[in-house]
Structure 1
Amino acid sequence: MSIHDTYVTFPCVRALLFLFNIVFWFCGLAIVWAGIWLHTDLQNYLKISPEYSTAPPMVLVTIGTIIILVATLACTCIVKVQQTLLVIYGGFLIVILFTVITVSAYIYTYKDNVIGGLAEGIQFDIDYYGIPGANKTKLIDYIQKNLECCGRESYMDWEESKHITAPESCCRAPLSECNVVDPYYLYTIGCMPKLQTLINNNLSLIGASASAIAMFPLFGTMLTFCLAATTRKHGYEPIIQ
């Protein structure tokens, strides 16, 4: 390869790698956002399952933060074309590739476990609703109000439990007009099918997004090692002259 050919190839590879690094930085930001969202808004629905865990959002936030920090630092070795740092960055991308694939599989497993525990969790919250120290009242009320549902399978679950009537969070009419004894005023659909759909759709989206992001570093790894090899073979100074 002539110096002229190298001059053409080198800037192209470096520009592509720099562009990749910017996109990779935003991928890290997206992973952090997914972790925060999973730990804030979505956790109000996940916590009703006994299989709920704070580990998945913490893992996502940690991985996303590491990606953001390393991608930021990597801009230096890309601009200055530091061969050793490029090789290290390429190795980091390979590690991230397998790490995010593992996290993606973990999210899918976590999703199945949470959904599998919904029936037990909802029934437990119904049975212990309003009991001092049980700390379950606000959770089931939040779910019933926001998902417009009542009970596990239907509002009848409340009548079959220790409660005579459904709580006010089951009312589909304003509280001033609602009669919790009359089914006409209550949500008739149970919370379990709605929770299953909500959790399955959202965690599947996070898992699928993680899988897509996991494939992305493979392209960056090839660019990184290609740039490092070009630098080692021809040297940086002759290329830019």
Structure 2
Amino acid sequence: MAVEGGMKCVKFLVFIFNFIFWVCGVALIAIGIYAQTALDKALTVSSSSASSTPVAILVLGIIIFFISFFGCCGAWKESYCMVTTFAVLLSIIFLVEIAAAIAGYVFKDKVRSVLEEGLWDAMRKYGDDKPLTEAVDELQRDFSCCGANNYTDWFTIERFKVNDTVPRSCCHINTTSCNIHPSPATINEKGCLQSIEAWMKKNILIVAAVALGIAFFEILGIIFACCLMKGIRSGYEVM
């Protein structure tokens, strides 16, 4: 027996909202991949906690992707069990997102210190650790930066201090001696920490807008799922 009257409309809305959730899941997956790709080298030289952020976004997107598919099937088949499971899982995800947002706001000031510490650690290991060396070089080239706060940071590293040099990846002119006796005329003066922060601030509005949109549709999805659950339960006999 089909869900009658207004429940048909609710069923249709649950299906539509689940499709929207599916799109939101795809969007989060895309954002996670983009963040991981764009900040790959910055995350390599940072701590494991910072490196896990794009991965967490990607995993959340995959979870929403599959839960929305589950919800679509439940709404289409008018399965009380599937719709209930969908509503519970979506509620859990919503609460986790709220907790993550609160934690992100509380610990936002620590992000800079964690990133700076990672940059300094990578600089100290420059030349000794090949993957880190390559990561630092690519980071400095991609962001047109040098050092953590500015190019003089490299002068605190013994191997560069004694020769009055910086890595060649700091150069903004293409000469063989651009990194010897460096100055703003030959190398990038700005530090990588500042450049990465600028990139994050530029893109944070996109992430925030997507997150708010997803949260809004999650709330609506939970409400309509509960309405559909009530309609299914009252319209069916338990066999």
Same fold per superposition (TM over 0.5): yes
Superposed counterparts of 1:59-138, under 5 Å: 59-108=56-105, 112-130=109-127, 132-133=128-129, 135-138=131-134
Residues 170 and 17 of structure 1: CA distance in aligned 2, closer, same or farther (over 3 Å): same
Superposed counterparts of 1:66-215, under 5 Å: 66-108=63-105, 112-130=109-127, 132-133=128-129, 135-162=131-158, 163=160, 164-175=164-175, 178=178, 180-183=180-183, 184-202=185-203, 205-206=206-207, 209-215=210-216
Q: Determine the C-alpha separation between the residues in 1 that align with 2:96 and 2:68.
A: 16
Residues 180 and 108 of structure 1: CA distance in aligned 2, closer, same or farther (over 3 Å): farther
Query: Over residues 122-147 of structure 1, what are the superposed CA-to-partner deviations in whole Å (9 max), with x where a residue is unaligned?
Result: 333333322x3474321221121111
Residues 161 and 58 of structure 1: CA distance in aligned 2, closer, same or farther (over 3 Å): closer
- Look up the equivalent residue of 1:137 and give its one-letter code: T
Q: Determine the C-alpha separation between the residues in 2 that align with 1:114 and 1:122.
A: 12
Residues 230 and 54 of structure 1: CA distance in aligned 2, closer, same or farther (over 3 Å): same
Contact 2:44 2:51 in 1 (8 A): no
TM-score normalized by the length of structure 2: 0.79
Offset of residue 207 of structure 1: 5.7
Residues 27 and 139 of structure 1: CA distance in aligned 2, closer, same or farther (over 3 Å): same
Contact 1:107 1:207 in 2 (8 A): no
| Residues matched between the structures, number | 229
Q: Determine the C-alpha separation between the residues in 1 that align with 2:186 and 2:23.
A: 47
Q: Which residue of 2 aligns with 1:226?
A: 227
Contact 1:46 1:52 in 2 (8 A): no
Contact 1:100 1:213 in 2 (8 A): no
Offset of residue 220 of structure 1: 0.8
Query: Over residues 157-193 of structure 1, what are the superposed CA-to-partner deviations in whole Å (9 max), with x where a residue is unaligned?
Result: 2234321211211111124584633522111222222
Contact 2:14 2:224 in 1 (8 A): yes
Contact 1:51 1:114 in 2 (8 A): no
Offset of residue 98 of structure 1: 0.7
- Partner SS for 1:117: helix
Gaps of 5+ in 2: none
Q: Determine the C-alpha separation between the residues in 1 that align with 2:36 and 2:235.
A: 49
Residues 105 and 153 of structure 1: CA distance in aligned 2, closer, same or farther (over 3 Å): same
- What percentage of residue pairs aligned between the two structures are identical? 28
State the Cα RMSD in Å.
Answer: 3.0
- Look up the equivalent residue of 1:25 and give its one-letter code: W
TM-score normalized by the length of structure 1: 0.78
- Look up the equivalent residue of 1:13 and give its one-letter code: V
Please identify runs of 4+ aligned residues in structure 1 that moved more than 6 A.
none
Contact 1:103 1:210 in 2 (8 A): no
